[in-house]
């Protein structure tokens, strides 16, 4: 059980510094896009973040992360909860409160306004302007000028990097270039056909490279087993610090519009992001080494209902493997004679 005393000061007077509470409900891709805004809030004053607890692996320095799934938040949706003493004590220490949840719920808005004494700012989770990139939207919410040159960054943990090098070394990937593949996403309709990923894998391995396939919880039920990927190293459901470390050790990364692809871009690996029915204007991963590939069919991007009922999925099925492989080849050649990341690997033991 987490300690509230560790998470919040006893009162604003006892805090000794201005403190911000941030309430953020998003999935991994949302959170990576939110990082630039969170970093700027943390620069102004110490920040406590209520989100998915696993995001503590990715949060900027000075941001304390606890689970959003807690009574103090769920009670805000209940009529009249704004006068509960336990809630008053929870919200009292914070000089400012930023929430991207509850903006469309009248009881939530009323309760938080009453409990915060007007110190809370509530924002819709998504921007009303579909032309606005989600990261720029979050920046504008915290009073920062949006900029396509402001990229999310992930603080890699040294112990996770050591683990990743040992893991890949044990799997025989030392002295080889590494391709990271993430063939899943939070929605199967956004996924490039599995056989196309395997064609990219075969091309890579025929050239002497090694492949790491990263599968998340969403893929557990439909990705088959490790044998489907031949000699590739298959990683399932690791904690995010280790996933970020593995991605940073790859030479190239290929994935769908997914949280893992945003994470790859944020750790600086050369990233190829495949977009079909979703809008790259709003959702393209941001980083210095990101290439977005899309067929730009006449019907994409499309609404969620159309995406789920699409009978042809041409935006992805017509995105041929030779086009993607050609881009990967170009990126590899552009890197020239750089020393592969894998040459830095140490042999050791790992579990995956």
80, 114, 141: which is the final residue of a domain? Answer: 141
Per-residue pLDDT band for 220 (boundaries 50, 70, 90) equals low
Closest CA to 188 of 21, 69, 313: 313
111, 141, 171: which is the final residue of a domain? Answer: 141
Same domain, yes or no: 121 and 216: no
Answer whether residue 175 shows pLDDT above 80. Answer: yes
Same domain, yes or no: 27 and 83: yes
**Residue 82 within any structural domain of the chain:** yes
**Residue 333 within any structural domain of the chain:** yes
Cβ neighbours around 214 below 10 Å, total: 26
Q: Across the strands, what pairs with 122?
A: 99
Answer whether residue 296 shows pLDDT above 90. Answer: no
Same domain, yes or no: 230 and 315: yes
**CATH, residue 96:** 3.40.50
| Of residues 180 and 9, more confidently modeled | 180
**Residue 351 within any structural domain of the chain:** no
Summarize pLDDT for 256-271 with one digit per residue, the tens.
999 999 999 999 999 9
Which backbone phi and psi does 341 adopt, to 5 degrees?
-55, -35
Answer whether residue 275 shows pLDDT above 90. Answer: yes
Which backbone phi and psi does 273 adopt, to 5 degrees?
-110, 125
Domain membership of residue 78 as a residue range: 4-141
Give the lowest-confidence range in 75-89, 108-122, 145-159, 277-291: 145-159
Same domain, yes or no: 180 and 125: no
Alpha carbon distance 138, 36 (integer Å): 8
Same domain, yes or no: 126 and 200: no
Answer whether residue 228 shows pLDDT above 80. Answer: no
* Owner of token pair 């692996």: 57
Same domain, yes or no: 102 and 183: no
Alpha carbon distance 2, 262 (integer Å): 29
Same domain, yes or no: 163 and 297: yes
**Residue 100 within any structural domain of the chain:** yes
Strand pairing category for 96-99 and 19-23: parallel
Answer whether residue 332 shows pLDDT above 70. Answer: yes
**Residue 146 within any structural domain of the chain:** no
Cβ neighbours around 166 below 10 Å, total: 16
**Residue 249 within any structural domain of the chain:** yes
**Residue 153 within any structural domain of the chain:** no
Summarize pLDDT for 121-139 with one digit per residue, the tens.
999 999 999 889 999 999 9
Beta carbons within 8 Å of 19's beta carbon, 6+ residues apart:
8, 9, 12, 45, 46, 47, 48, 93, 94, 95
Same domain, yes or no: 269 and 169: yes
Summarize pLDDT for 9-48 with one digit per residue, the tens.
445 444 445 589 999 999 999 999 999 999 999 998 889 9
Q: Average pLDDT, whole number, for the chain?
A: 87
Summarize pLDDT for 43-84 with one digit per residue, the tens.
988 899 999 999 999 999 889 999 999 999 999 999 999 999
* pLDDT number for residue 351: 47
- Name the domain count of the chain: 2
* pLDDT number for residue 330: 93
Q: What is the mean pLDDT of residues 106-114?
A: 97
Token output for 88: 């008053």
* pLDDT number for residue 18: 54
Per-residue pLDDT band for 182 (boundaries 50, 70, 90) equals very high
Same domain, yes or no: 219 and 135: no
Same domain, yes or no: 65 and 171: no
* pLDDT number for residue 343: 36
Per-residue pLDDT band for 236 (boundaries 50, 70, 90) equals confident
**Residue 150 within any structural domain of the chain:** no
**CATH, residue 327:** 3.40.50.2000
Same domain, yes or no: 218 and 335: yes
* pLDDT number for residue 347: 37
Same domain, yes or no: 172 and 76: no
% of the chain beyond a pLDDT of 90: 71
């Amino acid at each position: 059980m987490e300690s509230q005393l560790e998470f919040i000061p006893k009162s604003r007077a006892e805090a000794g510094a201005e403190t911000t509470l941030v309430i953020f409900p998003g999935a991994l891709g949302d959170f990576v896009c939110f990082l630039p805004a969170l970093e700027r809030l943390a620069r102004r004053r110490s920040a406590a973040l209520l989100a998915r607890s696993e995001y503590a692996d990715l949060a900027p320095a000075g941001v304390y992360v606890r689970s959003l799934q807690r009574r103090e938040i769920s009670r805000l949706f209940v009529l009249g909860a704004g006068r509960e003493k336990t809630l008053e004590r929870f919200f009292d220490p914070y000089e400012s409160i930023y929430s991207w949840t509850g903006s469309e719920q009248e009881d939530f808005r009323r309760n938080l306004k009453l409990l915060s004494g007007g110190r809370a700012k509530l924002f819709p989770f998504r921007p009303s302007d579909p032309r606005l990139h989600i990261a720029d939207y979050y920046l504008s919410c915290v009073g920062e000028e949006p900029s396509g040159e402001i990229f999310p960054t992930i603080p890699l943990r040294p112990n996770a990097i050591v683990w990743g090098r040992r893991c890949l070394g044990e799997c025989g990937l030392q002295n080889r270039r590494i391709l990271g593949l993430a063939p899943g996403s939070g929605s199967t309709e956004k996924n490039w056909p599995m056989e196309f990923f395997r064609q990219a894998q075969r091309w890579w391995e025929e050239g002497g490279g090694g492949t790491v396939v990263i599968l998340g919880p969403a893929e557990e039920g439909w990705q088959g087993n490790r044998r489907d990927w031949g000699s590739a190293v298959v990683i399932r459901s690791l904690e995010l610090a280790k996933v970020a470390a593995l991605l940073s050790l790859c030479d190239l990364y290929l994935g769908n519009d997914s949280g893992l692809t945003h994470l790859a871009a944020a750790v600086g690996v050369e990233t190829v992001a495949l977009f079909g029915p979703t809008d790259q204007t709003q959702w393209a991963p941001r980083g210095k080494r990101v290439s977005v590939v899309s067929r730009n069919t006449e019907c994409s991007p499309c609404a969620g209902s159309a995406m789920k009922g699409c009978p042809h999925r041409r935006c992805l099925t017509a995105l041929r493997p030779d086009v993607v492989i050609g881009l990967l080849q170009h990126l590899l050649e552009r890197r020239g004679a750089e020393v592969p990341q894998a040459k830095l690997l140490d042999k050791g033991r790992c579990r995956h």
